Amino acid sequence: MQILRSAHKGYMVCLRLACALCLIFAFSPTGWTQTKPPAVSEPPAVLKPVVAGLFYPADKRILEQKINGYLKEAAGKVQKGSASPFGLISPHAGYDYSGRVAAVAYRQIQGKPYRTVFLLAATHYVPFQGVSIYPSGAYETPLGKIPVDDQTSAVIMQRCGFARFYSPAFEREHSLEVQLPFLQKTLESFKVVPMVMGRVGESEYRLLAETLTTFVQKNPGRSLIIASSDMSHFHPYQEASAMDRATLGQIESADLKNLTRNIERGTCELCGVQPVLTLMKVAENLAGKIRVLDYANSGDVTGDKSRVVGYGAVAFYPPDERASLGEKEQKALLQVARRTLEAHVTGRPVPRPHAGSEKLLQKRGLFVTLEKRGELRGCIGYIKPVLPLADAVAEMTVSASSRDPRFPPVTQQELADIHIEISVLSPMRRIDDMRDVRVGLDGLFIVKGGASGLLLPQVATQQRWDKEEFLRQTCIKAGLPPNAWREKETETYAFTAQIFSE
């Protein structure tokens, strides 16, 4: 322990410098809206390890023994019965300090058939704007070389103009490299897409998240995103633990808004804030579930609790396909809609919806449709997850009955004739080949510039449209020319819906 404490002092000096630089270089989530891409430079054929022997053992045998030991200890913390995660938050300190926590994260993916791993790290040493992505070649550790997924890297650079290869971003960076040996000991036959994030604004990290969401949707169970981040730095043990528990709570509850605000205020700390917010945005796009797996800090290792660094392990899971609403949940939501409609139209206080089921606490996109004697009387909804289901149904019922610009507000005299239908949406998936659109199963969401339009799956069936007419009508709904879906600048998304009615 005395040797570890002596090494700890020198290590912490280096860590403080890296942390200070990271905080200087980090973005302001709301203050930056436009950044210039990093300067383009020629990537080397192989990225050599730069922190082997410092953050983790340089000797292959010792490194394997250390990681295997950590993974064995973490076996009891595997999430039973869960689907394969699409994302992890893993710490990036020296293995003696954060290796056990990192192992809990990596134990969740051991033996899984991932083929592409997206590595997101924040720059600690070099200031630059945008994202530096290593586009081709291989990343080397004492355990061997990991090939880079050059085709996927090229797609990201094409979609995200702020992502380019900037050599200095990788020359000293530890936060990305320390993840690699854990990947090599838990996965087989995979490729990586390494990215170091400099200053990026909210619009940039959201675009990167949207791009990563597309890969996860197209390759479920084959794509993994790792956000490399430590937590609070250099606070007393109790203060750090309280701060980090609050941060993890906001991550687990998918509270992107408050986490961003609290990071700006300094009441939450993440040295990998950009990677974490990007991964949380992917989870929001997918309506994913988030689970905190483990937490510790350097004081738990060294015994020095005067100034500690926090480490957390978090897993991000896809929505449970079995989480479709049963008859009981459907009936409960329809009752929420009916009671809300009657209270709102008659001028009584709208009752606060009671979830009554864990499934109704899920945040999902949804639409509430009102019909009167078979004719549309109002339809408004959330395209993406914003509120828990019960709250979203209540709010959208009010909107559909009084805020649909196509119709006057529903009157008390009409209540008996109003029929309520609810459509709970799946996550959106990007469509590049229109042959992938399934009329009768898919709804469409089309975006071009500032214009957008959505049609629910049942609309095409009711109107007896073929695929091309469905695309044309969605463009018209967006206020675009009917054939705008053919244009390169137009983005087309498809989704499914669970539809139920009174």
**CA end-to-end distance (rounded Å), the chain:** 67
Tokens of 80: 């039973």
Claim to verify: residue 305 and residue 344 sit in the same structural domain: no
Final residue before a domain boundary, out of 319, 348, 364: 319
Claim to verify: residue 232 and residue 312 sit in the same structural domain: yes
**Owner of token pair 């549309």:** 376
59-65-71 Cα angle (round to 5): 130
Contact 460, 470 (CB under 8 A): yes
DSSP track, 186-241: H-SS-EEEEEEE-B--HHHHHHHHHHHHHHHHHSTTTEEEEEE----EEE-HHHHH
DSSP structural state of residue 135: -
pLDDT at 467: 93
Q: How many domains does the chain have?
A: 2
What's CA 34's distance to the chain center, in Å?
A: 21
**Owner of token pair 């403080």:** 16
What residue numbers bound the domain in which 395 lies? 323-501
Contact 121, 175 (CB under 8 A): yes
| Angstrom distance (rounded) from CA 366 to CA 364 | 6
In tens digits, the chain (502 residues) has pLDDT values of: 444 444 444 444 444 545 444 444 444 444 444 445 455 668 899 999 999 999 999 999 999 999 999 999 999 998 876 788 999 999 999 999 999 999 999 999 999 999 999 999 999 999 999 999 999 999 999 999 999 999 999 999 999 999 999 999 999 999 999 999 999 999 999 999 999 999 998 889 989 998 998 899 888 889 999 999 999 999 999 999 999 999 999 999 888 889 999 999 999 999 999 999 999 999 988 878 899 999 999 999 999 999 999 999 999 998 765 557 888 899 999 999 999 999 999 999 888 877 677 778 888 899 999 999 989 999 999 988 889 999 999 999 999 999 999 999 999 999 999 999 999 998 888 888 888 788 888 899 999 999 999 999 889 988 989 999 999 999 999 999 999 999 999 999 998 888 899 9
* pLDDT tens digit sequence for 353-378: 776 777 788 888 999 999 999 899 99
CB contact burial 24-39 (16+ within 10 A = b; e otherwise): ebbbebeebeebebbe
- Sort 84 into a burial class: Cβ within 10 Å, 0-12 / 13-18 / 19+: middle
Q: Which residues pair with 45 in a beta bridge?
A: none
Claim to verify: residue 218 and residue 287 sit in the same structural domain: yes
| Angstrom distance (rounded) from CA 49 to CA 58 | 9
Claim to verify: residue 312 and residue 410 sit in the same structural domain: no
Task: In the chain, count H helices and then E strands.
Answer: 16, 20
**Owner of token pair 């750090």:** 240
> How many other CB atoms are found less than 10 A from the CB of residue 336?
27
Claim to verify: residue 115 and residue 128 sit in the same structural domain: yes
Closest to 254 (Cα-Cα) out of 333, 317, 179: 317
Angle of helix 256-265 versus helix 273-286 axis, rounded to 10: 170
Claim to verify: residue 242 and residue 329 sit in the same structural domain: no
For β-strands 144-147 and 116-122, DSSP reports them as: unpaired
- Sort 3 into a burial class: Cβ within 10 Å, 0-12 / 13-18 / 19+: exposed
Claim to verify: residue 329 and residue 315 sit in the same structural domain: no
DSSP structural state of residue 57: -
Claim to verify: residue 341 and residue 411 sit in the same structural domain: yes
Claim to verify: residue 291 and residue 401 sit in the same structural domain: no
Here the CATH number for the domain that contains residue 65 is 3.40.830.10
Claim to verify: residue 302 and residue 261 sit in the same structural domain: yes
